[in-house]
């Protein structure tokens, strides 16, 4: 599209750049779904910018709907939530360059401590008591203190608490089988959490808040709920267990920027991997793999325009995709929905995940910075 036509579109008001819109009402509905399934406190996990939906937007909607805690991976993410006025307790759990006790205390956030070394380093620098959650490995071998060293970690935490450098306020684990609705498979992690809680109590550290489950456990297995559940994917409508219909909380739209009539036998895109088999119309959307559209061959992928689904054809380019609209010739500026809350012809994140052979999380967290953000 040349400069003149862009200017004309802007003037006519039809031009709306590619936009990822977040739907706070869907986040609220998803929190309500969780609350219907558990009496435990709900922590809204808004890491990775709220799974691509905007951490502050998702956090505000979730807290307003009854989430009592927030969770992020870093203290920096937590600071942004505090700066936005969110006052509920916040837990952070990844500290690749060590826990910054001063920043944690200044921001008023809790930190998860997943190893004896991490706790030792924290105790060496903590001036005022830092609120900590002992992160126990309950079978994932990705984070948390391995079982063989729980006693050592708990003993060190007790000494740290006596010296007023830390306060143990939580005990956490994580379920390795996030994408399976199978209570039997969670049993050993649940037993591990009970054991960790007993050991902490026996050490004279009281009964700190215990938390194990993420979205899948919250939706499918009450035995995993303990005092709090940590829900991330479910907030934005993704159910990894595939058992509950949640509410999609985002919508990606893009305007048609170019439309042409194409005769049968027209090759489309790089290498001409798609050739029209009839006279048709082709439209271009200004989104490509640099914006997070999967580049893998996606023969079933399509977008919604005015209530109908049209296929994406040819290779996905860095900045553009082409759709085949058949007999329809949509004018430039017509809005296409790439994904949104499922229903009718609109593809959902689940559809994209299936087309690309991945999970919905990677689609929505992959939408790039050129795409404008808005809130419904
Ligand atoms: C991401 C994360 C969660 C949330 O998981 P979902 O499946 O997205 O709900 C919970 N706990 C920890 C430790 C996490 O890293």
How do residues 110-127 score in pLDDT, each as one tens digit? Answer: 999 999 999 999 999 988
Active-site annotation, residues: 47, 270
Q: Which residues contact 168 (CB under 8 A, 6 or more apart)?
A: 132, 133, 134, 157, 161, 200, 205, 206, 208
Query: Taking CB atoms and a 6 Å cutoff, what residues make up the pocket around ligand 1?
Result: 45, 47, 93, 174, 178, 214-215, 230-234, 240
| Diameter of the chain measured on Cα atoms | 80
Phi and psi at residue 150, in whole multiples of 5°?
A: -60, -45
- Per-residue confidence (pLDDT) for residue 97, from 0 to 100: 83
Both structure tokens of 36:
């219907």
Handedness of CA 213, 219, 221, 227 (dihedral sign): positive
How far does the centroid of ligand 1 lie from the alpha carbon of residue 214, in Å?
5
142 labeled binding residue: yes
Asked if 254 contacts 336 with a C-beta cutoff of 8 angstroms, the reply is yes
Backbone angles phi, psi at 310, to 5 degrees: -125, 140
Q: Which three-class secondary structure state does DSSP give residue 79?
A: helix
Return the SS3 of 274.
strand
Residue 16 in marked binding region: no
The pair of structure tokens assigned to 27 is 């986040």
Work out the burial of residue 87: count CB atoms within 10 Å of its CB; fewer than 13 is exposed, 13-18 middle, 19 or more buried.
exposed
Instruction: Pick the residue whose CA is nearest to atom 15 on ligand 1.
Output: 73
**Residues 6 or more apart from 329 whose CB is under 8 A from it?**
259, 261, 281
Report the alpha-carbon angle 357-369-256, nearest 5: 75
Count of CA atoms in the C-beta half-sphere (13 A) of 216: 15
How far apart are alpha carbons 199 and 202 in whole angstroms? 5
Residues contacting 127, CB < 8 A, separation 6+: 101, 102, 105
Are the beta carbons of 55 and 236 closer than 8 angstroms?
A: no
Q: Are 37 and 219 in contact (CB under 8 A)?
A: yes
Closest CA to 48 of 220, 179, 313, 235: 235
- Given the candidates 2.40.37.10, 2.70.240.10, 2.30.40.10, 3.30.70.330, the CATH classification of the domain at 3-20+249-375 is 2.40.37.10
164 class by beta-carbon count within 10 Å (0-12 exposed, 13-18 middle, 19+ buried): exposed
Neighbours of 162 (CB within 10 A): 10
State in Å: Cα 216 to ligand 1 middle.
Answer: 9
Q: Decide if 3-20+249-375 and 24-236 have a common fold.
A: no
Q: Name the packing angle between helices 183-202 and 150-162 (round to 10°).
A: 40
Q: What pLDDT was estimated at residue 126?
A: 80
- CB 289 within 8 Å of CB 302: no
Distance CA 122, CA 130 (A): 9
The rounded Å distance from CA 177 to ligand 1 centre is 12
Tell me how crowded residue 167 is: count the other CB atoms within 10 A of its CB.
Answer: 15
**Ligand 1 pocket: which of 27, 40, 45 to mutate (most atoms <8 Å of CB)?**
45
How far, in Å, CA of 312 to CA of 291, rounded?
15
Give residue 293's pLDDT: 97
Taking a C-beta distance cutoff of 8 angstroms, is the pair 134, 118 a contact? no
In this structure, the strands spanning 258-262 and 280-285 are antiparallel
Measure the CA–CA gap between 154 and 200, rounded to whole angstroms: 6
Extents of the domains making up the chain: 3-20+249-375, 24-236
For residue 174, which atom of ligand 1 is closest to its CA? 13
- CATH code linked to domain 24-236: 3.20.20.10
Residues in the chain predicted with pLDDT less than 50, given as ranges, are 1-9
Q: What is the dihedral of CA 154, 157, 162, 166, to 10 degrees?
A: -150
CA of 53 relative to ligand 1 center, distance in Å = 15
């Amino acid at each position: 599209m040349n400069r003149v036509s862009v200017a004309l579109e802007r003037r006519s008001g039809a031009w709306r750049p590619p936009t990822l819109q977040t739907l706070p009402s869907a986040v609220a509905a998803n929190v309500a779904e969780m609350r219907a399934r558990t009496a435990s406190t709900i922590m809204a996990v808004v890491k990775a910018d709220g799974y691509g939906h905007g951490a502050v937007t998702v956090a505000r909607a979730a807290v307003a709907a009854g989430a009592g805690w927030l969770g992020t991976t870093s203290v920096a993410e937590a600071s942004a939530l505090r700066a936005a006025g969110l006052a509920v307790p916040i837990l952070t759990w990844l500290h690749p360059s060590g826990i910054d006790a001063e920043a944690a205390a200044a921001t008023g956030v809790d930190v998860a401590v997943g190893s004896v070394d991490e706790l030792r380093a924290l105790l060496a620098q903590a001036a005022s008591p830092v609120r900590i959650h002992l992160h126990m490995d309950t079978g994932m071998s990705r984070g948390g203190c391995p079982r063989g060293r729980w006693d050592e970690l708990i003993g060190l935490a007790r000494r740290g608490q006596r010296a007023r450098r830390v306060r143990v306020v939580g005990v956490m684990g994580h379920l390795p089988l996030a994408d399976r609705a199978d209570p039997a498979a969670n049993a050993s992690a649940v037993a591990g959490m009970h054991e960790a809680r007993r050991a902490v109590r026996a050490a004279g550290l009281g009964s700190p808040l215990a938390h194990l489950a993420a979205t899948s456990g919250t939706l499918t297995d009450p035995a995993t709920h303990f005092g709090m559940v940590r829900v991330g994917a479910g907030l934005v409508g993704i159910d990894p267990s595939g058992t509950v219909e949640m509410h999609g909380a985002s919508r990606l739209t893009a305007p048609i920027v170019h439309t042409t009539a194409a005769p049968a036998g027209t090759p489309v895109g790089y290498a001409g991997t798609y050739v029209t088999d009839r006279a048709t119309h082709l439209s271009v959307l200004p989104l490509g793999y640099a914006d997070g559209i999967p580049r893998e061959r996606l023969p079933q992928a399509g977008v919604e325009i005015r209530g109908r689904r049209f296929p994406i054809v040819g290779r996905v380019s860095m900045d553009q995709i082409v759709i085949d609209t058949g007999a329809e010739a949509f004018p430039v500026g017509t809005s296409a929905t790439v994904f949104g809350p499922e229903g009718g012809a609109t593809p959902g994140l689940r559809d994209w995940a299936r087309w690309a052979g991945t999970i919905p999380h990677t689609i929505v967290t992959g939408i790039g910075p050129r795409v404008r953000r808005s809130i419904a």
